[in-house]
Amino acid sequence: MWGPKKTQVRPSGDDVGVHVRNVIDSVIASPDSQTFKLVMVQKKSWDDVDLATRELAAKIDLYLEYLESGRFYTDRPDAVGKTVYIELWCFAMPTGPFRENIERFHEAVVERGFEMKLHVTLVD
């Protein structure tokens, strides 16, 4: 279970989401600060597969660059040597072609030495 220890990389009050370019939506540390997740939030539906794919690809590239450049560890020196992964939060289960795209993105992230997880919160 994740605790409330949270550092936001985005400017306070700004919108977050996969569609917002050049912004790390959120960084959350576990209560014991042994695990850090870089969260990206997908608020929109998956209806426009091409647009959603382009936006998610750009966001994943941003997150990987943030990690690989070392900037994340400069911003969060307490994360050095700890488990760090990317997590996509979404409010609808990705299906069909977009689900396949997410699986390809996951493989690409793993090939670059990181983990990516999917967290779906179903909203009625």
Domain residue spans in the chain? 6-120
Q: Please report, in tens digits, the pLDDT of each residue of the chain (124 residues total).
A: 223 233 334 444 457 888 888 889 999 999 999 999 999 988 877 788 888 889 999 999 999 999 999 999 999 999 999 999 999 998 878 878 888 888 989 999 999 999 999 888 765 4
pTM: 0.82
Spatial distance between the Cα atoms of 115 and 101, rounded to a whole number of angstroms: 16
Q: What CATH fold (topology level) applies to the domain 6-120?
A: type ii restriction endonuclease, domain 2 (3.40.1560)
Torsion sign, CA atoms 57, 41, 114, 98:
negative
Name the phi and psi angles at 64, rounded to 5. -65, -40
